[in-house]
């Protein structure tokens, strides 16, 4: 009997996860969680609360729905507390999902095609069967359908009737990303370093996946330094001369702040983009200084 009680308590753990330390206080997290629970009750029976995730058994069809609160917590962090009820209500108002539309899209790829996109995210525990591939180190590229103001992450079973390979589906998704509205600006950073910025609501990180196609003008003779701090921001410094260390030192504080303050951070790494591949540039930060170790191949090219 005591064992079952112990397990039950473990399933409902409302303590603030350690990874939200520095983002919201314990009391703020409890408030956000409580408001989220009130919205979830509208959708079904709450069966699990742990580590920033709420699972609900839907009253609509009995399926389990997992709500990961990370984006919501970060949204609340950037808003006044009196705005939280509206933010949280709007977050959950997109549910329940229109199952009939989802089934129709699964059967008719011609209808689904314009909604197919690729989304870059850093998700640690990827559910089994979710469709993704590894393109940029420390990130994952997910195949999604983008409709009804939310992203629908695709599972293997969702794409079975489309009779297309994963490679073909990712190519189509990336082609749709290439026509997304991205605000591209060229600036001279610190009055010295050529820099291209890429801003959008959700797809700047995804836009980087095919940088050679989408923005060839941003790539130098020796490739480019790419920084992708958030879902909606990316920065590219073309490499033509020995400017790499100087640029990274000049840009790093801004880069770190973008990553730290956004609702959906992507990567703290700098990448060397060359021949359509991303390689991590090893860095370490200490006492407001950054140490940089360039990939061996890049050092040889620059000699």
d(C-alpha 215, C-alpha 196), whole Å? 10
| 125 and 56 co-located in one domain | no
| 293 and 190 co-located in one domain | yes
pLDDT, tens digit (0-9, with 9 covering 90-100), for 149-181: 778 889 998 898 898 999 999 999 999 999 999
Structural domain count, the chain: 3
| 270 and 289 co-located in one domain | yes
CB-facing half-sphere around the CA of 31: CA atoms within 13 A: 13
User: Which residues lie closer than 8 Å to 142 by C-beta, 6 or more apart?
Assistant: 118, 119, 120, 121, 123, 130, 131, 132, 153, 154
pLDDT, tens digit (0-9, with 9 covering 90-100), for 209-232: 999 999 999 999 999 999 999 999
* Confidence label for 8 from pLDDT (cuts 50, 70 and 90): very low
Q: What is the pLDDT of residue 98?
A: 63
The whole domain housing 199 covers 183-302
Predicted TM-score of the model (pTM): 0.78
* Confidence label for 3 from pLDDT (cuts 50, 70 and 90): very low
Last residue of one domain, picked from the residues 92, 109, 142: 92
| 129 and 200 co-located in one domain | no
| 59 and 37 co-located in one domain | yes
Q: What is the pLDDT of residue 97?
A: 65
d(C-alpha 184, C-alpha 68), whole Å? 31
Q: Which of 65-69, 268-272, 280-284 has the lowest mean pLDDT?
A: 65-69
Tokens of 231: 């879902």
| 171 and 188 co-located in one domain | no
Give 109-159 as a DSSP string.
Answer: HHHHGGGEEEEEE--SSPPTTB-EE--STT-EEEEEEEETTEEEE-BGGGG
290 beta partners: 285
Q: What is the pLDDT of residue 221?
A: 96
Higher pLDDT among residues 273 and 79, named by residue: 273
| 292 and 211 co-located in one domain | yes
Last residue of one domain, picked from the residues 122, 154, 178: 178
Angle at the Cα of 84 from the Cα atoms of 83 and 88, rounded to 5 degrees: 125
185 beta partners: 197
Residue 241 has pLDDT above 90, yes or no: yes
| 88 and 115 co-located in one domain | no
Question: Quick one: which of 260, 271, 261, 268 has its CA closest to 294?
Answer: 271
Helices (H), 12-137: 26-41, 70-77, 84-92, 99-107, 109-112
| 10 and 68 co-located in one domain | yes
| 66 and 104 co-located in one domain | no
Last residue of one domain, picked from the residues 45, 74, 92: 92
CB 239 within 8 A of CB 196: no
* Confidence label for 37 from pLDDT (cuts 50, 70 and 90): very high
d(C-alpha 94, C-alpha 89), whole Å? 9
Measured on CA atoms in the order 195, 198, 199, 204, is the torsion positive or negative?
negative
pLDDT, tens digit (0-9, with 9 covering 90-100), for 46-61: 999 988 889 898 887 7
Residue 2 has pLDDT above 70, yes or no: no
d(C-alpha 281, C-alpha 32), whole Å? 37
Q: What are phi and psi of 269, to 5 degrees?
A: -90, 150
Question: Quick one: which of 146, 148, 292 has its CA closest to 231?
Answer: 146
């Amino acid at each position: 009997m005591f064992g079952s009680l112990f397990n039950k308590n473990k399933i409902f753990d409302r303590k603030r996860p350690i990874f939200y330390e520095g983002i919201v206080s314990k009391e703020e997290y409890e408030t956000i969680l409580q408001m989220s629970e009130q919205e979830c009750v509208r959708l079904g029976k709450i069966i699990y609360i742990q580590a920033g995730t709420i699972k609900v058994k839907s009253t609509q069809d009995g399926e389990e729905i997992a709500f990961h609160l990370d984006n919501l917590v970060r949204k609340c962090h950037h808003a006044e507390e009196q705005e939280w009820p509206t933010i949280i209500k709007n977050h959950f108002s997109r549910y329940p999902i229109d199952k009939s539309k989802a089934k129709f899209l699964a059967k008719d790829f011609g209808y689904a095609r314009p909604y197919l996109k690729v989304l870059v995210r850093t998700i640690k525990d990827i559910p089994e069967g979710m469709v993704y591939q590894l393109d940029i180190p420390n990130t994952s590229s997910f195949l999604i359908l983008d409709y009804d103001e939310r992203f629908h992450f695709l599972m293997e079973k969702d794409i079975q009737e489309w009779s297309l390979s994963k490679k073909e589906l990712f190519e189509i998704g990336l082609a749709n990303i290439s026509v997304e509205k991205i605000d591209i600006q060229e600036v001279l950073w610190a009055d010295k370093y050529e820099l291209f910025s890429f801003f959008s609501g959700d797809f700047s990180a995804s836009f980087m996946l095919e940088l050679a196609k989408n923005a060839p003008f941003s790539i130098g003779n020796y490739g480019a330094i790419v920084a992708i701090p958030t879902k909606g921001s990316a920065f590219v410094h073309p490499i033509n001369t020995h400017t790499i260390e100087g640029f990274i030192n000049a840009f790093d504080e801004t880069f770190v702040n973008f990553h730290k303050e956004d609702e959906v951070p992507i990567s703290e790494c700098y990448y060397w983009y060359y021949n359509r591949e991303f390689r991590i540039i090893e860095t370490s930060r200490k006492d407001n200084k950054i140490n940089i170790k360039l990939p061996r191949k890049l050092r040889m090219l620059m000699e």
